[in-house]
Amino acid sequence: MSVPGGSGSSNHFTARLARRTASARTATTYWLGFAVVLALLIVAPLVLPEFWRRFVTEILIWGLLAMSSDILIGYTGMVSFGHSVFFGIGMYGAAAALLTVRPPNLWLALLYGLVAAGLVAVFVAYFSTRLRDIYFAITTLVFSQIFYVIIFTWTEVTGGENGLTFRQPPLAIPGVLSAAFTPVTLHWFVLGVVTLSYLLLRRVTQSPFGMVLQSIRENEPRTRAIGYHVERYKIVAVMLSGLVAGLAGVLYAIQNKFVAPDFVFFVVSGEVVIFNVMGGMGTLVGPVAGAAFFLLLREGLSRFWTEYYLIPVGIIFTLMVIWIPQGLLGFAKRRLNQ
Amino acid sequence: MAIPFDQILIQTVNGLVNGMILALVASGLTLIFGIMDVVNFAHGDLVMLGAFVGATTIAATGSFWLAFLVAALVIAVFGAALQASTLRPLLGRDPLTTILATFGISLVLQKYALWQWGPSARKIQEPITGQFAMFYLEYPWYRVATAFFAGAIIGAFWLFLKYGRYGIWIRATMQDRIMASAMGIPVPLVHTAVFAIGAAMAAASGVLFGPLGGVTQTMGFDFTLRAFIVVVVGGMGNLGGSILAAIFISLLEAYASIIVSPSQAVIVSFMALILTLLFRPTGLFVPTPK
């Protein structure tokens, strides 16, 4: 997928040159901004009322999911329309751990969720990465529907349409502490996981591996011609993305204490794509901002419009695809640079 | 497990009927992709809108065939407006961008339908009420008529593409956009017209499907997914392939639903899609590319 700003090679070159001279300054600005945002998010649950506290936690979880799909959409140029499958399977994995093992264990839930999402990701990656562009989008969509149908109809194990409910595990570090989650500690836990994942993903996208992914996005045949095994890189990208999405699923399951097939359904995948487009693909932070923007829009609009809030949101989304494909973050960046 | 012969025959007829409706939806989708590289995610929602417009017209006038025409015309005009306003600016961009834009449109259309017509399902009264005996079933003639009718529309459209003056314009634009433009064909107009025709065909299949399955605002996604599968299995942009693939997929699903529940039978067509993509990504029903 072509990405704004990367249209011409000379344009690219000057941009890179300019970036290098200003890199020291931008790095400081970046970490300063990172610290400020992190500090705000740490303080947030202490000052916000109950509703908004929960809201911010939820933004973080959806943001993590959006970030995971950004690895594919923004960095590798593969639009996944089936990200709900990794998210949902992560949730069901966590549910399996919390329902079968007594007493419920947080770390086991994480492990089960990640393993489940990872296995599904291997399966999906193996088949879908042989295809490109729209075919990749359609295949991921179809895979998510396959798992949706299985989960929806396999009532004995998955609870079918009703889903499963379970108890929240305590926040336990063996030998150190064990305490039930309060909304504030849950928020901090989620924030910790999301921050670590973000730093990890950021490191990955800046590593040589991440560079290869971006070169696949810019020009796949050329990347192959240089000698990179494109399919292998794509498989790893889908797996990484699936794992992180599964992690988001585990967090969501722990926060809400239930799972339902709705989370595997296409609607969630669609929302993830919306987060990415709204926030700005290929920036990692952008999708989180997109998730926040979308959830705020939904919150604000659904007060007057109830479920019809998707009409204005859909119109805004479509207009953004046409006129500001670089998303809110890219748009703001360009404005600031002028 | 022995499967009774009569059941197989009934499912064959069912599969053929569903396949013809699906072929009508998919041929619009494949045409739109073939001519302007637009993957129309909102195609199923055009089916849904057509069905609703049809149901409303029937409620007002009582005539099925009038409703059929009105739905096709209204949705054709709507499709043309949609193409001119949202897809024309995207021409020449990545097909993925068009998937995103039409996905946004699909959201809007679905919720608009919910807002306008409410959440309850509507039933369109079938215009042909007779039935004939098929084993233990009283099989409605309407279903059989639907298959023929859908076939007739596709046939007429094919003739138009083959021999009609504007049909030749469309095929020329499909083959080479720039050359067609150099020959004096108004390419942007052809694009809009093709989208309108595709939308009209979607609306027509929506009205035809109405008496069989009811009309709800969520029926679009199902059609979109199926039409995607059909179009890919048949070979993107290949009209004949799509029609064969629509029948093939529908028959597969019909036979599978003898053994498992219909909601699980969908998985069979998903598998067909994935296998096709892996082993014959150019499509099942097209000649092997040299």
Mind giving me the DSSP string for A25-53? HHHHHHHHHHHHHHHHHHHHHHHS-HHHH
Per-residue pLDDT tens for A69-116? Answer: 999 888 888 888 889 999 999 999 998 888 887 788 888 888 999 999
Tell me the residues of chain A between 225 and 264 that have a Cβ less than 8 Å away from chain B.
none
Nearest to B100 among A273, A311, A313 (CB): A273
**Residue at A329: amino acid letter:** L
Q: CB of A153 within 8 A of CB of A160?
A: yes
Q: CB of A216 within 8 A of CB of A233?
A: yes
Check residue A277 and give its pLDDT. Answer: 87
Q: Quick one: DSSP state of residue B285?
A: T
Nearest to A127 among B86, B110, B274 (CB): B274
CB contact under 8 A, A141 and B228: yes
d(CA B95, CA B69): 31
d(CA B71, CA B69): 5
Q: Evaluate whether residue A324 is within a structural domain.
A: no
Q: Which residues of chain A have pLDDT under 70?
A: 1-23, 175, 336-338
Per-residue pLDDT tens for B91-143? Answer: 877 777 888 888 899 989 988 888 888 888 888 777 777 777 777 777 788 88
Q: Is the pTM of this model over 0.90?
A: no
| CA distances from residue B163 to B166, B169, B170, B190, B229 in whole angstroms, order as listed | 9, 10, 11, 16, 29
Nearest CA in chain A to B222: A145
Q: CA triplet A55, A59, A62: central angle to 5 degrees?
A: 135
Task: Sort strands A164-165 and A171-173 into parallel, antiparallel or unpaired.
Answer: unpaired
DSSP codes of every residue in B180-224:
HHHTT--HHHHHHHHHHHHHHHHHHHHHHHHHHH-B-TTHHHHHH
Give the number of A-B residue pairs with CB atoms closer than 8 Å. 107
Domain range holding A132? 47-267
Check residue A6 and give its pLDDT. Answer: 43
Q: Evaluate whether residue A194 is within a structural domain.
A: yes
Cβ neighbors of A133 (< 8 A, separation 6 or more) are: B94, B95, B96
Check residue B1 and give its pLDDT. Answer: 54
Q: Evaluate whether residue A316 is within a structural domain.
A: no
Check residue A330 and give its pLDDT. Answer: 76
CB contact under 8 A, A79 and B96: yes
Nearest to B105 among A146, A150, A318 (CB): A318
Q: How far is A22 from chain B (nearest CA, A)?
A: 32
Task: Sort strands A258-259 and B137-140 into parallel, antiparallel or unpaired.
Answer: unpaired
Contacts of A152 in chain B (CB under 8 A): 263
Number of domains in chain A: 1
Q: Evaluate whether residue A190 is within a structural domain.
A: yes
What are the structural domain ranges in chain B? 21-217
Contacts of B270 in chain A (CB under 8 A): 142-143, 145-146
Check residue A17 and give its pLDDT. Answer: 64
Check residue B14 and give its pLDDT. Answer: 84
Q: How far is B208 from chain A (nearest CA, A)?
A: 26
A131 is written with which tokens? 């295809």
| CA distances from residue A332 to A279, A320, A326 in whole angstroms, order as listed | 10, 13, 10
Q: Please indicate if any CB of chain B lies within 8 Å of the CB of A150.
A: yes
Nearest to B108 among A134, A143, A314 (CB): A314
Residue B188 preceded by cis peptide, ω within 30: no
Check residue A14 and give its pLDDT. Answer: 67
Q: Which residues of chain B have pLDDT under 50?
A: none
CB contact under 8 A, A134 and B95: yes
Q: Evaluate whether residue A154 is within a structural domain.
A: yes
**ipTM metric:** 0.84
Q: Evaluate whether residue A39 is within a structural domain.
A: no
Which residues in B have their CB inside 8 Å of a CB on A? 39, 86, 89-90, 93-97, 99-101, 103-108, 110-112, 114-115, 221, 225, 228-229, 232, 261, 263-264, 266-267, 270, 273-274, 277-278, 281
Check residue A237 and give its pLDDT. Answer: 92
CA dihedral A189, A268, A82, B91 (to 10 degrees): -120
Nearest to A311 among B89, B108, B266 (CB): B108
Q: CB of B23 within 8 A of CB of B209?
A: no
Nearest to A127 among B111, B229, B278 (CB): B278
